[in-house]
Amino acid sequence: MSASDDLCFLSAVDQRQLLDAGEVSALELVDAHIDRIERYDGLLNAVVTRCFEQAREMAATKALRGPLAGLPVAHKDLVATRGLRTTYGSTLHADNIPTADAPVVARIKAAGAITLGKTNTPEFGAGSQTFNRVFGATRNPYDISRTCGGSSGGAAVALAARFMPIADGSDTGGSLRNPAAFCNVVGFRPSPGRVPSESAVTAWSGLSTPGPMARNVDDTALLFSAIVGPHDRAAGMLTEPGETFRRVTPAELRGLRVAVSDDFGGLPVQPQIREVVRVTAEKMEEAGARIVEKCPDFADATRIFHVLRAARFRARFGGLAEEEKSQLKDTIIWNTAAGEALTPADEDWANAARSALVARVAEFFRHVDVLLGPTTQVLPFDVETEWVREIEGRRMRTYIEWMQSCSWITVTCCPALSLPGGFSSGLPVGVQLVSPMRRDGFLLSVAKAVEAITGCGEIRPDLSSGPSN
C-alpha cells in the first residue's frame, strides 16, 4: 500500500475540505489517484481510456472553482467527452473522438472536477454485465472472478477500488443501481427530468437518465448537485437548482412509514439477498421506523419496460446498414428486432399502462413514505457468464429479465437509490430505496439515515495481493 492511498480512501467531501484548507493540492490528489489506478487497474479494467497528463495539467492550474473543484472523476464511456476517445463499448466507434461534451460532462467540468479518463461499459450500455469487444471485461474488486454488473460497471469498480471519489453513470433498467449493489457503492437513479441527457432517443421518455455514483450518500449528493437542473436543449426539466441537494440532513427514522418487500411481489430473488433486505428492515424498525410488509401493484411493469426499451433500440439501431449491424452483439440485435416487431397498438398500450402504473404507485405512497427492497435478484455471478439464465429455479427468457427488481421501478418514474446493505460470502449486497416521484432530496435524506445503521459502506476490497498492470 502506498502512502498516497490514505488520500484515496477519504470521501469526496473530506477531500474537498483538505483542498479548501490548503492541506493538499489538487495535483497531489490527482497524482495519488493516478498512482492507485496504475497499480491496480490492470487487475480490474475499470478506467479504459486515460488522460493523465491532461489531468495533471488541469490540477496544476489555479483557476479551479466550483463545488467539485480539484476532485478526480472519470466519465462513463457512453457519454461524449470533447477531445477524449468515446467508444460506447462498440467496435463501430472504437476511434471516435467527440468534438463536444455531453451535458452531464460539461456540468461536472464546470463544477471544477478533473477528468482522469473514461470508465468501461457494455456495448452501447446494453445489459448489466460490463464487457465489450473494444476493452474486454471489467472485474469485481471484491472477487475478480465475478462480474461488477453494469452498465455503469467501470464507474462502480473505480469507486470501490478508490480510483476516484465520484463518477457519473446512467440508468435505464438498473445501470446505476445494479453495479452499485455488486460493488458496495451508492448508485442513484434520480427522477426523470433532473439531469439532462444528450440522447435524442431518450430525451423525452424518462426511461433513461444520467445520475451520480459515489461511496456514500453525502458524496453522491455533492455530485448530484453539480449535474441537476434545467438545460436549454431539454424540455420538461425540473427546476430545483443544484444547491437544493448539496447537503443532506439524515431523515428521522422514528415514525417513518417504510414498506418492505424482499421480492417486489413475486420476483425470484436469491435467499442471501432477501436476508439482507430483512436485516435492513429490522435495523430500521429498531431505530423507530414503522415497518409494513407490502409493495405496489407492479402489474404490467415487465411488458411496459419491454415495449419502451425495444422502441428505443429500434430508433437507435434499426436504421443501421447491414454491415454495421453485423458488428452488434446478439442481445442488441434481438432487442432491435423486438422493437421492429412492435405495432402502434403495442406502443399505445404501453403508454396507457405506464400511466396507470404511475397512478397506482402514487396512491401507494399516500400510505407509506418509502419502499425498501432488493436492488438485484442475484449475487455477483461469474464474469464469463453473459447474463443470468435462471434464478431460484425460474428460467429467464431474455437478457434483461433478471434485472426486473430495477426495471420495474424504472417505469414508475420514482427516484431510486441502491445503498450498501451487507455481504454474503464476501460479496456485496445492495438494498434499494424508492420514494415518491420528484422527492429526490427526501430519498437522499432517508438513504443517509439508513446508511448510518447498516455500517458496511466503508468495507474496502483487498487489492493488495493482486498484480499491477
In terms of C-beta density within 10 A (0-12 exposed, 13-18 middle, 19 or more buried), how is residue 348 classed? exposed
> Does 268 score more than 50 pLDDT?
yes
Nearest to 254 by CA among 282, 281, 286: 286
CA max distance for the chain: 62
Edge-to-edge order in the sheet of strand 290-293: 47-50, 114-119, 72-76, 166-171, 209-214, 186-189, 416-424, 427-434, 370-374, 257-260, 290-293
Residue 151: active-site member: yes
> Does 466 score more than 80 pLDDT?
no
The long-range contacts involving 344-351, CB below 8 angstroms and separated by at least 24 positions, are 346/307, 347/307, 347/311, 349/307, 350/303, 350/304, 350/307, 350/308
Q: For residue 425, is it left (φ>0), alpha (ψ between -120 and 50) or beta?
A: left
Cell reading at 397: 427468457
Cell reading at 385: 457468464
Percent share of the chain, pLDDT over 70: 97
DSSP per-residue codes, 371-406: EEEES-SS---BTT-SS--EETTEEP-STTGGGHHH
The long-range contacts involving 236-239, CB below 8 angstroms and separated by at least 24 positions, are 236/193, 236/204, 237/193, 237/194, 237/196, 238/191, 238/193, 238/194, 238/438
Q: Which residues of 74-107 are buried (b: 16+ CB within 10 A; e: fewer)?
A: bbbbbbbbeebbbbbbbebbeeeebeebbbbbbb
> Does 469 score more than 90 pLDDT?
no
What mean pLDDT value characterizes the chain? Answer: 96
> Does 225 score more than 70 pLDDT?
yes
* pLDDT score, position 199: 62
pTM of the model: 0.97
* pLDDT score, position 20: 96
Distance CA 304, CA 306 (A): 5
* pLDDT score, position 459: 97
> Does 194 score more than 70 pLDDT?
yes
Q: Are strands 72-76 and 114-119 parallel, antiparallel or unpaired?
A: parallel
80, 81, 87, 89 alpha-carbon torsion, rounded to 10°: -70
Please, are residues 258 and 270 in contact by the beta-carbon 8 Å criterion?
no
Say how many C-beta atoms besides its own lie within 10 A of residue 363's C-beta: 11
Weakest-pLDDT range from 27-36, 239-248, 277-286: 239-248
Residue 355: active-site member: no
Q: What is the mean pLDDT of residues 345-370?
A: 98
* pLDDT score, position 200: 47
Q: What is the mean pLDDT of residues 311-331?
A: 97
Please, are residues 138 and 154 in contact by the beta-carbon 8 Å criterion?
yes
Weakest-pLDDT range from 298-302, 372-376, 440-444, 454-458: 454-458
- pLDDT confidence of 1, banded at 50, 70, 90? low
Distance CA 132, CA 150 (A): 12
Considering the candidates 170, 175, 261, 445, report the single residue annotated as catalytic: 175
Angle between helices 103-110 and 217-227 (to 10 degrees): 110
> Does 468 score more than 60 pLDDT?
no
Considering the candidates 151, 225, 418, 435, report the single residue annotated as catalytic: 151
- Residue bearing cell 445520475: 211
* pLDDT score, position 201: 47
pLDDT in tens, 108-143: 999 999 999 999 999 999 999 999 999 999 999 999
CATH number 3.90.1300.10 given to 5-454: yes
Distance CA 223, CA 212 (A): 6
Weakest-pLDDT range from 152-166, 201-215, 241-255: 201-215
Question: What count of Cα atoms within 13 Å lies in the side-chain half-sphere of residue 235?
Answer: 4
Residue 329: active-site member: no
Q: Which residues contact 220 (CB under 8 A, 6 or more apart)?
A: 186, 188, 212, 213, 214, 417, 444
Cell reading at 369: 413514505
Please, are residues 386 and 445 in contact by the beta-carbon 8 Å criterion?
no
